[in-house]
Structure 1
Amino acid sequence: MAASYTHQTAGKIVGGPHCTRELAAHLRLFGDIKSALIVTQPSMIRQGIVEELRRQLSAAGIATEIETGIKPEPTVQNVEQVYDRISGQAFDLYIGLGGGSVLDAVKLLSVLATNPASVSEMIGTDLVGQAGIPTVMIPTTSGTGSEVTPNAIVTLPEEQLKIGIVSRHLLPQLVLIDPVLTVGLPQPITASTGMDAFTHALESFISNKANPLSDMFALESIRLISRSIAEAYRDGSSVTARERMLVGSMYGGMALTSAGTAAVHALAYPLGGKFHIPHGVANSMLLPHVMEFNMDAIAEDRLACVAEAMGLQTGGTKAKTADRIVAQIRSWTKELHIPQNLHDYGVTERDVAPLAEAAAKVTRLLNNNPKQVFVQDMQALYHKLLP
């Protein structure tokens, strides 16, 4: 467990069904807001959610513009192209309405407006010089927890890798956690984003930087997601299950804020960067194999805590507890129909070595892993997904 630790998160969090209807009232904390940019996805427009927000803001005297140009797993170039398009307008507020890609991009658009640096120059930790335009985050998937983290992830096509930007200046001022917005999520997105959130919590709990604050959020995230992911997948209309997933995802984000994710994410980044495998799917594929690899380095009491939070039997040896955890993860991937074969995405045996070399560069996350992962270990882990 880390000798010292810090925790930082969003300025204000509002949750509950239909809490987005209260957005205008909560904007009072920003002072005099005259104009806002809503960055979102076309699906949110089709569902009428964007128009509902626009009417609410208009009634409060706030003019709005809409931007839908952020792509899934956005590249540096995509974010900067969108910024170039909007930079001629002075917005008092940026609102992110969507999944993790949208929320991450809004953070970056915000600081691009107030810093002379490019996105590429911000890559790393604490390289954003000053605060950006105030932001509001409204997640519509239960996966990344981006709404409460100081992180933004971008894709570097030239390196075929995804990489992080970490800064306190990326933290939003207001977050609205409205489970009703996630009711219409398709099953594949429910599955992949839900397992992504579970991975955040589990990796944070076993991280070398785990601490009392991250443990609290991680275990509650594991508990909520374990008891609701299958129900949310089977019955997407269950607001109760959706709320548990959304809060569990947020807690996972809070956990990783101070503890960080580890080898699963490090190995997943090249799969997204080179083969465009959705991040949650890549994490889900890798999670049982990386956990098996890590098990002998995880303390017995930590494993027992994870098993208990997952609702599993906790008696017996450390090995039996570890087996139960991995077995449950494998069971979920089958029940949620998450792919388990990299061949389905065009990955071949000859790709394994360059994938491992790319993953080895993600030292920010690999250093958090409870067990050292060498390049040959990474190759063996990828091979397990090439049956």
Structure 2
Amino acid sequence: MSLYHFQTVKHLVHGAGALDQLGDKLALLDVPLRRVVLVTQNAMHGLGVTERVKAQLAARDIDVAVIDNVEIEPTLENIEQVFREQVSPHQPDALLAIGGGSVLDAAKLFAVMLTNEQSLRSMLGIDQVARAGLPTVLVPTTAGTGSEVTPNAIVTLPDEELKVGVVSRHLLPALVLLDPLLTLSLPKAITAATGMDAFTHSLESFISNKANPVSDTFALESMRLIAGSIVEAYQQPDSVRARSDMLLGSTYGGVALTAAGTAAVHALAYPLGGKFHVTHGVANAMLLPHVMAFNLDSCAPRLKRAAMVCGLAREEDSNEAAAGKLIEQITAWTATLEIPQDLAAFGVREEHLPEMAVAASKVTRLMVNNPKPLSLDDIQALYRRLLP
């Protein structure tokens, strides 16, 4: 009997209007709050979200410093600069983040940077953060990254043209609020990319070499929720039902990847983001059907279970036929969601493939999870599938 280690957020609140519970739920942090840093995005100001939050905190005599200049998919230098110039001087008692994955990741990093003397660069990798950070409250406004429930934070290293993760139990938040109403204003392109990112998390966790009963439970339910709502959320953005299912599915995907880890899709996506600035969700969506087709002969029974939970296959279907239906559906989703399928549009050329393959192969913490080993030639061939 194998042993499984499971960890996630301490408190999670889900439902339409959950943000209005913020003031009351802060008591769950069990620390006196006088000053809070709110990490967010400019869009939240225009939607009135920032003022709503500030009013709730002001009613409890909590001073708020608003930080809204974390870059999309931030670099290590951006995180360090914002921390040095804006976060550290405020000396907060807790961090609150409202936004997409980059904002949530930044807040998690700020929280441990405030309590550790080590540099951010020294935290890169697995279990390199020495001490627990300040309490964090995370409120996602996209249904995709699952960052609100993972011990991971991703930063870009421009000098290495790669994205790298900080992975530590100390990054897990104290409180998460999942409010689908905050996702109603998402642009269609972001709905599509983040939604496919969430599905990738769940599917890769399900076929991961580290998959286990805990991760399987969350991965399967995540895929069921996303498969039944992603197109509706894209085509009918005001559907609270679809937005709610997408948000919960994304969070479940985050729990699944925490328990089992993602695999080759994510490893191959990192060079695309680091060198060619392909957004993470788009890169994953582009690669997903091709990597699953490559993996098929190593995990067909698992792909069949995924296809069945998505309503695409029946018990009497063969493993291979069911897996094929799932891959076809993923391809169809990317078309319906208008996700690009041509890497050349991002500046990728044939001569870039060897270097990209080497970079992807070095993401060993993810490659070891893939059910089928990939050679450098295999990786190049997968990238080549996305060139005209």
TM-score scaled by structure 2? 0.98
1:344 alignment counterpart: 345
> What code does the residue aligned with 1:367 have?
V
> C-alpha distance in 2, partners of 1:385/1:260?
25
Residue 322 of structure 1: CA displacement?
1.5
Q: Who is 2:273 aligned against?
A: 272
Query: Which amino acid in structure 1 is aligned with residue 330 of structure 2?
Result: I
Counterpart position of 2:80:
80
- Letter matched to residue 316 of structure 1: D
Aligned counterpart, 2:379: 378
- Deviations, residues 337-361 of structure 1 (Å, cap 9, x unaligned): 0000001111111111111010011
Cα distance in 2 for residues equivalent to 1:196 and 1:133:
28
Q: Which residue of 2 aligns with 1:44?
A: 44
Structure 1 vs Structure 2 CA RMSD: 0.9
Code of the aligned partner of 2:42? P
CA offset at residue 304 of structure 1? Answer: 2.4
**1:191-206 aligned within 5 A:** 191-206=192-207
**1:129-278 alignment runs, 5 A limit:** 129-278=130-279
- The aligned amino acid for 1:127 is Q
Moved more, 24-33 or 170-179: 24-33
8 Å CA contact 2:218, 2:252 repeated in 1: yes
Give 3-state SS (helix, strand or coil) of 1:87's partner: helix
Aligned equivalents of 1:39, 1:321: Cα separation in 2: 43
Quick check: 202-211 or 89-98, which moved more? 89-98
CA drift of 1:52 comes to 0.5
Gap regions ≥5 residues in structure 1: none
Q: Does the 8 Å contact 2:37/2:90 carry over to 1?
A: no
1:291 and 2:259 correspond: no
Matches of 1:3 and 1:14 in 2, distance apart? 31
Question: Which deviations, in whole Å up to 9, do the C-alpha atoms of 1:246-278 show, x marking residues without a partner?
Answer: 000000000000100000000000000000000
- The question of whether the paired residues in 1 share the 8 Å contact of 2:65 and 2:90 is answered with no
User: In the TM superposition, what is the alpha-carbon distance from 1:316 to its structure 2 partner?
Assistant: 2.4
Cα deviation, residue 299, structure 1: 4.5
Which SS does the other structure have where 1:153 is aligned? Answer: strand
Match of 1:13 in 2: 12
Opposite residue 4 of structure 2, the aligned amino acid is: Y
| Number of positions where the alignment pairs a residue of Structure 1 with one of Structure 2 | 385
The sequence identity of aligned pairs, in percent, is 55
Partner secondary structure for residue 89 of structure 2:
coil
8 Å CA contact 2:184, 2:238 repeated in 1:
yes
SS at match of 2:103: helix
Paired with 2:254 and 2:22, the residues of 1 have a C-alpha distance of 22
Code of the aligned partner of 1:369: N
Secondary structure of the residue aligned to 2:370 is coil
C-alpha distance after superposition, 1:195-222 (max 9, x if no partner): 0000000000000000000000000000
Amino acid at match of 2:385: K
How far the C-alpha of 1:4 sits from its partner, in A, is: 2.8
Cα deviation 1:279-302 (Å, max 9, x = unaligned): 0000000000000000000052x2
- Whole-Å Cα distance in 2 between the matches of residues 322 and 312 of structure 1? 9
> Secondary structure at 1:377's aligned position in 2?
helix
Could you list the runs of 5+ residues in structure 2 that have no partner in the other structure?
Answer: none
Cα 1:305–1:370 shift into 2, 3 Å: same
Letter of the 2:344 counterpart: H
**C-alpha distance in 2, partners of 1:161/1:126?**
20
In the aligned structure 1, how far is the partner of 2:194 from the partner of 2:313? Answer: 26
- Matched with 1:303 is 303
Amino acid at match of 1:6: H
- Tell me whether 1:121 sits opposite 2:122 in the alignment: yes
Read off the aligned partner of 1:54 and give its amino acid letter. Answer: K
Kindly state the Cα deviation for residue 163 of structure 1 after the two structures are TM-superposed: 1.0
1:54 match: 54
Question: Which deviates more from structure 2 when the two are superposed, residues 97-106 or residues 29-38?
Answer: 29-38
Give structure 1 regions of 4+ aligned residues with deviation exceeding 4 angstroms.
Answer: none
For 2:98, the aligned partner's letter is L
TM-score normalised to structure 1 length: 0.98
Shift of 1:3: 3.4
Deviations 1:70-129 (A, max 9, x none): 101111101000110121221011001100000001100010000011111001111101
Name the amino acid aligned to 1:99.
Answer: G
- The residue aligned with 2:33 is 33
Q: Which moved more, 1:335-344 or 1:24-33?
A: 24-33
1:6, CA displacement in angstroms? 1.0
Q: Secondary structure at the match of 1:331?
A: helix
